[in-house]
Amino acid sequence: MRIPKKLTAFGHCYRVKQQKKIKGGWLGEINYQKHLITILDHRPQTEKEESLLHEACHLVNTETKQNLKEKQVDQMAMGLYHILKD
């Protein structure tokens, strides 16, 4: 799976940026105001892919007001990753 430069969801275009550090030591983060998803660039490709899906799941969770907990978002992202990779 390649990491796209942008993705569109719920009528908004989110830029996908890879960088060396993310505040708080996270592997990825989403900024809803800036329409920006950031993932660490020095991680293995599989971790970058999982991080992107994780942040996309946060986006879906927020936009659909599901109120999933972090662990649930993580499990959803992991499940989607395995479906898409297999």
Phi, psi dihedrals of residue 78, rounded to the nearest 5°: -65, -45
Task: Name the DSSP class of 76.
Answer: H
Query: Do 54 and 73 meet the contact criterion of CB atoms below 8 Å apart?
Result: yes
- Residue 67, amino acid: N
Nearest residue to 50 via CA among 75, 86, 19:
75
- List pLDDT tens digits, range 43-54: 999 999 999 999
pLDDT of residue 86: 76
Joined tokens for residue 65: 């007001």
Q: How many CB atoms lie within 10 A of CB 3?
A: 16
pLDDT band at 1 (very low <50, low <70, confident <90, very high): confident
Per-residue model confidence as pLDDT tens digits over 6-33 = 999 999 999 999 999 999 989 999 999 9
